[in-house]
Amino acid sequence: MNLPYFISKRINASDKGSFSSIIHKIAIASVALGIAIMLVSFQILGGFQNSIKDKIFSFSGHIQIKAFTFSSEYEQTPIVIEGERMEMLQDDPHVKHLQEFAFKPGLISQNEEVFGMLFKGVSQSFDTIRFADYLVEGSMLTFDEEEAYPNEILLSEHMARQMQVGVGDRIVSYFIMDPPRTRSFFVKGIFSSGLEDFDEQIVIGDIKVVRTLNGWEDNEVGGYEVFINDLEKLEEADDSILQRLSVNQTTERVDQKFVQVFDWLNLLSQNVFILIGLILFVACFNMVSVLFILIMERRPMIGSFKALGATDKLIRSIFTYNGVRLVVRGLIIGNVIGLVFGFLQYQFKLIPLDPATYYMSHVPIDWNWFRILGINALTFLLVGVVLLLPTAIISRISPVKAIRFD
């Protein structure tokens, strides 16, 4: 039988209704509140980061292949990837999906108002299933190989609201060329990404429009958006893809293209880690204080044990078990609170957000079980180690003085 554990259980049972019981509840509440806040913080942080990244990936891919030139991104130099090189790219173990794209800047006119736009041409390779999550009205583009002049477009909700147009309406666009070109388009669908950089300028249509305007061949594109299997291997995938391209082609990772956004997301992570550090410090401080109070309250008992021949190690183990029991109860309660909150927010979206400010309509939740287990393990180990500090005072308690104290 584990004697220290048995004695700690008896002490805990005898403390019910006493001052020690109140101290126990404070300790449990401290740990529970701390673990709940940490879980919720990481759930929201992960959800927010993943939501923003998914939006960017859906509109730009993970890696872009383009011509190795110093020309403007909007006036692209066409590239051609066919035959063996295309097979090499498609067979790359990092590559999940490739889709063609091309940009063309222009203007949109409606109701005597003129708005700037960036026409993004896509083809049948466009991942319509992924993009469907951002479609709020209408339907996706239809790609007809026999149609020479496709006129369907997807318009952002922001631009549609500004121009006062909806699905089924026609708009006139002007492409700045020599001479200028005019095209009439039919609004097939309306999307909303929640990201101003995309919603304020991107218009999505058939890549044939850009090819016709630029005089490109049917196999020429502005670039390729590459989606990879494992985002953790983004740099490795970028190097692998670059080796499969010709000398006049290059790649650009999404974190290089949108440096400010990814730096901002990393800064959010740092802020949350600082918060977690403060919470752990408070939880450890509270547990040390609680255990110290319990030890001082039990001085006569400690003196009696020492008089009966108990070692300091045995007595320290009694109070350590008592402290660990409080930590475990706090962890259980805190996990219930944090996970239930996450589930309710994930299912019912109870807390809304302003999309114009936060790029999303509700607080997002990310279920990263590895991170959840890590938070629990870190809290248990750190607080458990700290519990050894106040028990060191036991060796300085004199049996004679402790018993006389009673």
| C-alpha pair distances (Å), 373 with each of 39, 227, 328, 370 | 10, 30, 14, 5
| Res. 73 pLDDT band, cuts 50 70 90 | low
Task: State how far the Cα of 80 lies from the Cα of 83, in Å rounded to an integer.
Answer: 10
Query: Mean pLDDT lowest for which of 69-78, 79-88, 341-350?
Result: 69-78
Contacts of 208 (CB under 8 A, 6+ apart): 121, 147, 148, 149, 150
pLDDT of 64: 97
pLDDT at 250 over 80: yes
Judged against a pLDDT cut of 60, whether residue 1 lies above it is answered with no
Average confidence score pLDDT of the chain: 90
pTM of the model: 0.86
Query: Measured between alpha carbons, how far is residue 354 from residues 286, 346, 358 in Å?
Result: 37, 17, 6
Query: Where are the domains positioned within the chain?
Result: 3-55+261-405, 69-246
